[in-house]
Amino acid sequence: MLTGFGVDPARFGAGRAVTSPITGGRIGAVADSEAPAVEAAIARASTAFAAWRLVPAPRRGELVRLLGEELRAAKSGLGRLVTLEVGKVPSEGEGEVQEMIDICDFAVGLSRQLQGLAIPSERPDHRMMEQWHPAGVVGIVTAFNFPVAVWSWNAALALVCGDPVIWKPSEKTPLTALAVQALFERAAARFGGVPDGLSQVVTGGREVGQMLVDDARVAVLSATGSTRMGKAVGERVARRFGRCILELGGNNASIVAPSADLDLAVRAIAFGAMGTAGQRCTTLRRLIVHASVYDALVPRLAKVYRTVSVGNPLPGDVLVGPLVDAAAGEAMTRALDAARALGATVTGGDIVTVPGAEAACYRRPALVEMPEQAGPMLEETFAPILYVVKYQDFAEAIALQNGVAQGLSSSIFSTDMRETEGFLSAAGSDCGIANVNMGTSGAEIGGAFGGEKETGGGRESGSDAWKGYMRRQTSAINFGRSLPLAQGVRFDV
Considering the candidates 247, 369, 419, 454, report the single residue annotated as catalytic.
247
Residue 280 near ligand UN1 by CB under 6 A: yes
Please state the closest distance from residue 272 (CB atom) to ligand UN1, in A. 9
Show the binding pattern over residues 87-106: x = contacts ligand UN1 (CB under 6 A), - = does not.
Answer: ------------x-------
Distance CA 493, CA 13 (A): 74
* Only segment of 121-129, 130-138, 142-150, 164-172 that touches ligand UN1 (CB under 6 A): 142-150
Please state the closest distance from residue 274 (CB atom) to ligand UN1, in A. 13
Q: Which of 106, 132, 146, 391 binds ligand UN1 (CB under 6 A)?
A: 146
Residue 442 near ligand UN1 by CB under 6 A: yes
Distance CA 413, CA 396 (A): 15
* Only segment of 104-112, 185-193, 299-307, 440-448 that touches ligand UN1 (CB under 6 A): 440-448
Site for ligand UN1 in 322-341 (CB under 6 A): none
Q: Which residue is nearest to ligand UN1 (CB)?
A: 443
Show the binding pattern over residues 5-44: x = contacts ligand UN1 (CB under 6 A), - = does not.
Answer: ----------------------------------------
The residue (of 150 and 289) whose beta carbon lies closer to ligand UN1 is 150
Q: Say what the alpha-carbon torsion angle 426, 427, 430, 431 is, to the nearest 10 degrees.
A: -60
Please state the closest distance from residue 359 (CB atom) to ligand UN1, in A. 25
Please say whether the beta carbons of 202 and 38 come within 8 A.
Answer: yes
The residue (of 70 and 247) whose beta carbon lies closer to ligand UN1 is 247
Which one, of 446, 443, 451, 450, lies nearest residue 463 by Cα?
A: 446
The residue (of 282 and 429) whose beta carbon lies closer to ligand UN1 is 282
Which one, of 205, 212, 214, lies nearest residue 238 by Cα?
A: 214
Q: What is the largest CA-CA distance in the chain?
A: 89
Please state the closest distance from residue 433 (CB atom) to ligand UN1, in A. 8
Residue 254 near ligand UN1 by CB under 6 A: no
The residue (of 200 and 440) whose beta carbon lies closer to ligand UN1 is 440
Count of positions on this chain that bind ligand UN1 (CB under 6 A) = 11
Q: Which of 108, 443, 465, 470 binds ligand UN1 (CB under 6 A)?
A: 443
Please say whether the beta carbons of 380 and 285 come within 8 A.
Answer: yes
Pairing of strands 126-134, 470-478: antiparallel
Residue 208 near ligand UN1 by CB under 6 A: no
Please state the closest distance from residue 20 (CB atom) to ligand UN1, in A. 20
Q: Residue 341: which residues within 8 A CB-CB, separation 6 or more?
A: 375
Residue 281 near ligand UN1 by CB under 6 A: yes
The residue (of 33 and 282) whose beta carbon lies closer to ligand UN1 is 282
478, β-bridge pairs: 126
Residue 145 near ligand UN1 by CB under 6 A: yes
The residue (of 139 and 225) whose beta carbon lies closer to ligand UN1 is 225
Please state the closest distance from residue 95 (CB atom) to ligand UN1, in A. 8
Distance CA 244, CA 458 (A): 8
Residue 222 near ligand UN1 by CB under 6 A: no
Please state the closest distance from residue 196 (CB atom) to ligand UN1, in A. 30
Based on the residue annotation, tell me whether 247 is a catalytic residue of this protein: yes
Show the binding pattern over residues 167-206: x = contacts ligand UN1 (CB under 6 A), - = does not.
Answer: ----------------------------------------
Distance CA 403, CA 429 (A): 10
Long-range contacts of residues 204-211, Cβ cutoff 8 Å, at least 24 apart: 204/16, 204/32, 204/33, 204/168, 204/171, 205/32, 205/171, 207/35, 208/32, 208/33, 208/38, 208/168, 209/139, 209/141, 209/168, 209/233, 210/236, 211/35, 211/38, 211/39, 211/42
Radius of gyration of the chain (CA): 24
Residue 68 near ligand UN1 by CB under 6 A: no
* Only segment of 47-55, 106-114, 194-202, 435-443 that touches ligand UN1 (CB under 6 A): 435-443
Residue 268 near ligand UN1 by CB under 6 A: no
Residue 441 near ligand UN1 by CB under 6 A: yes
201, β-bridge pairs: 167
**Annotated catalytic sites, by residue?**
247
Give contact residues for ligand UN1 (rule: CB under 6 A): 99, 145-146, 150, 224, 280-282, 441-443
